[in-house]
Structure 1
């Protein structure tokens, strides 16, 4: 089956809409296993950034369950999504199409952040913050890992 060239960039943008650091953590994990991305992998080629991306990914999963966690649509939350989606979208795009991959990822992440937030708030009312967060974590982390695996398998 042929995967459209920029589909992984769009999917990683959807992942970033719910968890801003998961795209970077998924790419860092792939980098540690010696896998190469189709597009250029900015920053994560350096060990300090790889370790930082993994730590921030884990920290975000923990911090999201806190009562004081801000909504993902506040300025800094959206900025983190733009940066993470842009870097990851570029890395998952075919070589030479990194800018298009970044644009598609960002264009997916920002509007979907509002939709995923609405869904999370609805789930929080029904099953609570921690349980809804754990379920969202499982779905988003699985989607992030699957997206990266899909893009790396294409090479």
Structure 2
């Protein structure tokens, strides 16, 4: 169940990255459909690019939290053992909401130190790397 929690935490930082990583590694029935797979990859790429904009919305606004909650739940279920998918979804969703608040504070601190683009690229690398590692294990 740790993978469900950790993948949910990644969704707190980058909502679409866990689903894109699962789709790219062909894990998780929820993202195997070609339309969902391609869509999640495109949305993740757009999120990575859009995050560097100064006018990017705060990840903790209601729409941002809802997207992270849903993504974390789907990814958490996909990472859970077959009989524990509901628990994986709950853990992934909760981890996503908690991590969205934590990663926002960390990002705000990093932005003051290194700027919007550099801090965003660091966060991207951590989120994408973590999601791919979790999806492959």
Q: What TM-score range do you get, normalising by the shorter chain?
A: over 0.9
Distance (whole Å) between structure 2 residues aligned to residue 82 and residue 114 of structure 1: 12
Are 2:44 and 1:57 aligned? yes
1:126 corresponds, among 104, 109, 113, to 113
Are 2:6 and 1:11 aligned? yes
* TM-score, L = length of structure 1: 0.86
CA offset digits 1:25-81 (Å, max 9, x no partner) = 0011012xxxx44xxx22x22111110000001110000001110111001110110
* Gaps in structure 1 of 5+ consecutive residues: 1-5, 151-155
CA RMSD of aligned residues (A): 0.9
Q: Which has the higher helix share?
A: 2
- Secondary structure at the residue paired with 1:53? helix
Runs (4+) of structure 1 exceeding 2 A deviation are none
Q: Alpha-carbon deviation of 1:99?
A: 0.3
Q: Alpha-carbon deviation of 1:111?
A: 1.3
**Structure with max Cα Rg:** 1
Question: Partner of 1:23 in structure 2?
Answer: 18
Question: Partner of 1:66 in structure 2?
Answer: 53
Question: Partner of 1:101 in structure 2?
Answer: 88
* TM-score, L = length of structure 2: 0.97
Equivalent residues of 2:10, 2:99 under 8 A apart: no
Q: Matched residue pairs, number?
A: 137
* Gaps in structure 2 of 5+ consecutive residues: none
